[in-house]
Amino acid sequence: RGFAAMAQVEEEEAQGPRLSSSQLPVTIEDAIEEVKVGRTQWILLVICGLTFMSDAAEVTFLSFVTEQLRCEWGLTSAQETSITQAVFVGMICGAPVWGWVADKVGRRTAFLVSSVIICAFGFGTALTQGFYSLVTVRAIVGFGVSGLPVGFDILAEALPTSGRGAFLLYIEYFWTLGSIFVNVCAWLVLETRGWQLFTMLAALPTLIASIAGYIALPESPRWLVEEGRQEEALKIVNQWAKANGSKRRFKALAAEPHSEGGGISEMCTNRKLRRTTILMAIVWFAFGLAYYGVVSLLPRIFR
């Protein structure tokens, strides 16, 4: 009997480590915690980070283009301002739309559609021939740009708590890269090759993000579970486990009740949420005023 046991152990060792499978349903939170941080999260960081890079590029490049077009098209100061304002008006209109799409249709859909809009109209900006067509196209780009933060949600929902803080800070580096990218492109081609080529280069990160997202970006498993689509979420989580080198495989994910938040009305009526909302609004208003104000002013200061 002892020799038989030893032979069985030797046979198991020769076959290599076995996959550990959970027979009981686990929550999506526990499943992602067990998958841990690995190759999957780094790929998502790059794809979603490219959208942050695109956001920075599409907004920052306007400060250069408006100065160039002021000379070529004879723009007035009011027209220069209107071109920049068009992007932010589009963002204001698009933000609630993309929030609804991300919650009701899916994170991946919101990400891809917004990226395609930015890509198409970003490159289309180079084809505009006048002030009004440029303002219209840039407003549509702004509408698409407001959907890019969905990438931030996709990344956050794919991370265990141990890696969430670090990765959500890493993604901010892509914003800096986007700003540097636009400045380098402006230095290389704006005066020598024209603003049209510069415009197309600014849209390049969005094109890469769109292609990479279509190929490699899955739907958020957390969102799928909340929508009652556990089988789809289970397949994605097990793919992540395999890609990350985890031996764990899950047989089933526990259903979670679909949460219906109170939305804007609850943010206004709930005292705690109202206070937090007001404070966050003040912080973001100050951030936007300082950052975009400086970015817009620099080319004019060194005119």
Each residue's pLDDT expressed in tens, for the chain with a length of 303 residues: 444 444 444 554 444 444 455 567 888 888 898 888 999 999 999 999 998 888 888 878 888 888 888 888 888 888 888 888 898 899 999 999 999 999 999 999 999 999 999 999 989 998 998 899 999 999 999 999 999 889 889 999 999 988 888 999 999 899 889 989 998 998 899 888 888 999 999 889 889 989 999 999 999 999 999 888 999 999 999 999 999 888 888 888 887 766 555 667 777 788 888 888 899 999 989 988 888 777 777 666 655
Backbone angles phi, psi at 25, to 5 degrees: -60, 140
Instruction: Give the pLDDT score at 5.
Output: 43
Q: What is the structure's pLDDT at 93?
A: 94
Which whole-number Å values give the CA distances from 281 to 267, 274, 286, in the listed order? Answer: 12, 10, 9
**Residue 202 backbone zone (phi > 0: left; psi -120 to 50: alpha; other: beta):** alpha
How much is the pLDDT for 263?
67
Look up the pTM and report it. 0.82
pLDDT value at residue 258:
60
Residue 6 confidence (pLDDT): 45
Report the length, in residues, of the chain. Answer: 303
3-class DSSP state for residue 26? strand
pLDDT of 301 reads: 66
b/e per residue, 165-187, with b = 16+ CB within 10 A? Answer: eebeebbeebbebbbebbeebbe
**CA distances (Å), origin 21, targets 65, 125, 241, 287:** 56, 52, 11, 47
CA-CA distance, 94 to 90, in Å (whole number)? 6
CA distance 56 to 129: 24
